[in-house]
Amino acid sequence: MDFAGNFRAAISLILKNGYDLALVDLNLGEAGVRLGGEILYLLKTEYPDTRRIVVTGDPPSGSLRTNILDKYDVAESRSQQDVASASEQLDSMVSKFASEIDGMESGR
């Protein structure tokens, strides 16, 4: 798993590595520029097997959302709040599971 904090870093990582899944912030770059669309375009044209998911703090809605999903063949779109919530739930589940395993090993 890799993280790119800006457009150039994202391009560099994509060109260097192949990915099965890409979580792309549509608003990558300056406000309103939506450089994430350029990342999605690169993935669609050069790495068509990479599943693309838009994750952004300001998700588009209505016809703009539909156009973006269709244009870049995006699997789905999620807000950063949805992802943060899911991440917290996953962390909680992993911690609980680890505690249960520790408890079973202690009881041996």
CATH code for the domain of 11: 3.40.50.2300
The answer to whether position 85 is within a domain reads yes
Q: What is the pLDDT of residue 42?
A: 93
Q: What is the pLDDT of residue 83?
A: 55
- Please answer whether residues 23 and 50 qualify as being in contact, where contact means their C-beta atoms are separated by less than 8 angstroms: no
Return the structure tokens found at 92.
Answer: 């909680």
Contacts of 97 (CB under 8 A, 6+ apart): none
Q: What is the pLDDT of residue 2?
A: 86
Q: Which domain holds residue 55?
A: 7-106
The answer to whether position 1 is within a domain reads no
Q: What is the pLDDT of residue 39?
A: 92
Nearest residue to 37 (alpha-carbon basis) of 2, 3, 77, 97: 77
Residue type at 11? I
- Please answer whether residues 24 and 54 qualify as being in contact, where contact means their C-beta atoms are separated by less than 8 angstroms: yes
The answer to whether position 40 is within a domain reads yes
The answer to whether position 41 is within a domain reads yes
pLDDT, tens digit only, all 108 positions of the chain: 888 888 899 999 999 998 888 888 877 776 667 788 899 999 999 999 998 888 777 666 777 767 777 777 776 666 556 655 656 664 665 566 567 667 766 665
